[in-house]
Structure 1
Amino acid sequence: MDPRIREHAEIIVNHSIDCEDGDHVVIDAHPVAEDLTTALVEAVADVGGHPLVIQERLGQRFRRAYLNNYDGEFETPEHTGALYEAMDAYIAIKGSDNETQLSDVDTETKADYERAYEPVRETRLNKPWNLTLYPAPANAQVAEMATEEYENFVWDAILKDWDAVREHQQEMADRLTEAEDVRIVSGDTLDVTMSVEGNKTLNDYGEANLPGGEVFTAPKKYSVEGEAYFDIPIYHEGHEIAGAHLVFEDGKVVEHSAEKNEDYLTDILDTDEGARYLGELGIGMNRDIDRFTRNILFDEKMGDTVHMAVGRAYPETVGEDNEQNSSAVHVDMIADMSENSYIELDGEVVQRDGAFWFEDDF
């Protein structure tokens, strides 16, 4: 086994979920990630925990079979919810033998299923959890990289001193938490304003997501104004949307287009009422992620980018006096901020062409 796999597992168990003696840990993984799953079982056992390996969300061949063959009305899977209610922590390992397994499932069917599944998702997200990736050949292929090249890319982004990352990112997290108004400009294709007053910015340093490498918050639901062209493609459930363009009024997407798969973008925005509002503003800060790989776990952390997610807001980012945007979807859209771009907080430029005010090259 590659020693980096055991290092990866130890970071998850000891840093990301902080597993303790007696913890019941659910590990959700595709068989292609068997080495990492095995290393996780060993690491959980080493601290006295009790692992259970399943294929629930990440067994996509099974989910495809269910969604394409079930002909009734989807019900909330209470038995799955009971498992997550009983566990102490959840680890999900992305990585598969076919990244487009769900591409022939009807989009409305997927939306109906996600709506029914939402209470289970809330149960799962209210426990310590971690989402990571095993660099499988199928993921390398989607990223248009050789397998070994992709393995090096993945582990360079993951095997880091996450305490040092936390310290580096905290200045931006604190400044965004203190801010009221945000303006994001990139060339002449993106100019969006929003309020984040009263909401909290989280510093992602490898806990819920591994790799980490972003700070993120939620805009106030009805405050987003302007238009945004996302020059980095969106890769969602086997579909690539390129050149997405959104126009916001009073927080809502009132116009949209895409250069590729516009119909699929429309399906996302039509999932429910909340899908046309932003649930997240994130700023990518992991500069070891230096290219688009069609994997949002990495792409949204890419250095010198911002992302805005339509749909569900994370409750941890929403202040008690502000409305949380609810939706069955959460789809991130990414824009490059490395040239002719800036982020402004309360009238002060805090990032210019990818560099932050506290960095030497600002």
Structure 2
Amino acid sequence: MDPRIREHAEVIVDHSVDLSEGDDVVIDAHPVAEDLVVALHELVADRGANPLVVQDRLGERYQRAFLRNREEFETPGHVEALYDAMDAYIAIRGNANVTETSDVDPETNAAYQQAQQPLLAERLSKTWNLTQYPAAANAQLAQMSTEGYENFVWDAVNKDWDEVREHQSQMVDILDPADEVRIVSGDTTDVTMSVAGNPTLNDYGEKNLPGGEVFTAPVADSVEGEVLFDKPLYHQGREVTDVYLDFEGGRVVDHSAGKNEEVLTEVLETDDGANRLGELGIGMNRDIDRFTYNMLFDEKMGDTVHMAVGRAYEDTVGEENEQNDSAVHVDMIVDMSEESRIEVDGEVVQRDGTFEFEEGF
């Protein structure tokens, strides 16, 4: 076994979920990630915890078969009971075919996601971690060799996360007490939003692995302006390009996409909260230096910001503010490397990807 797999497992168990004796942990993984699952079992055993492997959320062929043969969905009570009983949840991305569900109707996917919402809420209420195994199919999607993708993933995952936390805390200190944020990129993106009263979180590899962002939630009805997400979105096995959203009073009032616009439309029409922003994130991990069609990595890239339509994370919403609720949470990325700036309460804090606390600002 590649020693980097064991190091990856150690980061998950020791840093991300910090398992204790007697903990019941669910590991959701495709068979292509078997080596990482094996390494996790060794460490789980050392800590006296109890593992159970499922292939629920991250399934492929059988999930496609289910979705293509059913139109109405209900929340599965037995899965909800499992999530209620567990102490920790580890989800490992890794695919045999990244486009397996690309011929499932977007409307069916939206209905399925709505039925899954209580499961999502239960998972997010527990200790959880989402990470990536460098499977060949994901390497192919990233247009990389398998070896090159392995190096890319493990360089991004196996690092000094305390050092990352310290660096990113400088941006947290700027954003956390702020009232208003403005994002400008070229002549295609100019959007403002209030973040007043909403906490800013420092993602340094605990819930998402790799980490490398700071993020918060906009005040639900405050978003105004337009955004062109110039990095592609890969959703439901389809590539959606040049996503354009126009916001008024916090809601999307106009949208378009250069490719697969119907996928975007179905996302925005999933439920009442799907056409409002649930997250503003600022990418700060410069070890992620290329776009790979994998949002777990792409949203962390340095010189980017991302915004998610749909569900806001509970921890990013202050007690006095409304949490945007939705069955979806779909991130999209704006390149901030050129002709771009982030303003916080009227002050420029990032220009062309460089922060005010970095050399060359």
Question: Which TM-score tier does this pair reach, normalised by the shorter chain?
Answer: over 0.9
SS at match of 2:176: helix
Task: Map Cα deviations across residues 17-74 of structure 1 (whole Å, 9 max, x no partner).
Answer: 0111111111000000000110111111111111111111012222112111235x31
User: Which residue identity lines up with residue 27 of structure 2 in the other structure?
Assistant: I
Task: Map Cα deviations across residues 121-168 of structure 1 (whole Å, 9 max, x no partner).
Answer: 111110000000000000000111111011111111111100110111
Matches within 5 A, 1:296-315: 296-315=295-314
SS at match of 1:153: helix
The residue aligned with 2:11 is: 11
The residue aligned with 1:345 is: 344
User: Which residue identity lines up with residue 157 of structure 1 in the other structure?
Assistant: A
Q: CA deviation at 1:265?
A: 1.1
Whether the 8 Å CA contact 1:216–1:280 is kept in 2: the answer is yes
Whether the 8 Å CA contact 1:226–1:247 is kept in 2: the answer is yes
Whether the 8 Å CA contact 2:26–2:90 is kept in 1: the answer is yes
Q: CA deviation at 1:263?
A: 1.7
Taking the aligned partners of 1:268 and 1:76, their CA distance within structure 2 comes to: 19
Taking the aligned partners of 1:358 and 1:101, their CA distance within structure 2 comes to: 44
Q: Does 1:227 align with 2:231?
A: no
Whether the 8 Å CA contact 2:213–2:300 is kept in 1: the answer is yes
The residue aligned with 2:271 is: 272
Taking the aligned partners of 2:263 and 2:113, their CA distance within structure 1 comes to: 16
Matched pairs, number: 361
Whether the 8 Å CA contact 2:106–2:262 is kept in 1: the answer is no
Task: Map Cα deviations across residues 76-116 of structure 1 (whole Å, 9 max, x no partner).
Answer: 11100111111110000000100111111111111111111
Taking the aligned partners of 1:47 and 1:222, their CA distance within structure 2 comes to: 46
Taking the aligned partners of 2:292 and 2:104, their CA distance within structure 1 comes to: 23
SS at match of 2:273: helix
Taking the aligned partners of 2:63 and 2:124, their CA distance within structure 1 comes to: 20
User: Which residue identity lines up with residue 121 of structure 2 in the other structure?
Assistant: E
Q: Does 1:87 align with 2:86?
A: yes
User: Which residue identity lines up with residue 343 of structure 1 in the other structure?
Assistant: I
Matches within 5 A, 1:1-362: 1-71=1-71, 73-362=72-361
Percentage identity across paired residues of the two chains: 70
Q: CA deviation at 1:361?
A: 1.9
User: Which residue identity lines up with residue 322 of structure 1 in the other structure?
Assistant: N
Whether the 8 Å CA contact 1:186–1:340 is kept in 2: the answer is yes
Taking the aligned partners of 1:237 and 1:214, their CA distance within structure 2 comes to: 24
Taking the aligned partners of 2:288 and 2:235, their CA distance within structure 1 comes to: 19
SS at match of 1:276: coil
User: Which residue identity lines up with residue 82 of structure 2 in the other structure?
Assistant: L
| C-alpha RMSD over aligned residues | 0.9
Whether the 8 Å CA contact 1:132–1:210 is kept in 2: the answer is yes
SS at match of 2:182: strand
User: Which residue identity lines up with residue 286 of structure 1 in the other structure?
Assistant: N
User: Which residue identity lines up with residue 276 of structure 1 in the other structure?
Assistant: N
Taking the aligned partners of 1:59 and 1:42, their CA distance within structure 2 comes to: 24
- Post-superposition, which runs of at least 4 consecutive aligned residues in structure 1 deviate over 6 A? none
User: Which residue identity lines up with residue 69 of structure 1 in the other structure?
Assistant: N
Taking the aligned partners of 1:264 and 1:48, their CA distance within structure 2 comes to: 44
Task: Map Cα deviations across residues 194-223 of structure 1 (whole Å, 9 max, x no partner).
Answer: 000000111000001000000000000110
SS at match of 2:75: coil
SS at match of 1:274: coil
Taking the aligned partners of 2:359 and 2:51, their CA distance within structure 1 comes to: 45
Taking the aligned partners of 1:333 and 1:14, their CA distance within structure 2 comes to: 30
SS at match of 1:157: helix
Taking the aligned partners of 2:270 and 2:117, their CA distance within structure 1 comes to: 13
> Structure 1 stretches of 5 or more lacking a match?
none
Q: CA deviation at 1:8?
A: 0.2
Task: Map Cα deviations across residues 215-249 of structure 1 (whole Å, 9 max, x no partner).
Answer: 00000011001111111111112111111111111
Taking the aligned partners of 2:38 and 2:69, their CA distance within structure 1 comes to: 32
Whether the 8 Å CA contact 1:136–1:147 is kept in 2: the answer is yes
State the TM-score, normalizing by the size of structure 2: 0.99
Taking the aligned partners of 2:227 and 2:70, their CA distance within structure 1 comes to: 38
Task: Map Cα deviations across residues 147-192 of structure 1 (whole Å, 9 max, x no partner).
Answer: 1011111111111100110111011112111000001111111110
> Structure 2 stretches of 5 or more lacking a match?
none
SS at match of 2:121: helix
Whether the 8 Å CA contact 1:244–1:259 is kept in 2: the answer is yes
Whether the 8 Å CA contact 1:78–1:120 is kept in 2: the answer is no
Taking the aligned partners of 2:261 and 2:107, their CA distance within structure 1 comes to: 15
SS at match of 2:222: coil
User: Which residue identity lines up with residue 223 of structure 1 in the other structure?
Assistant: S
SS at match of 1:275: coil
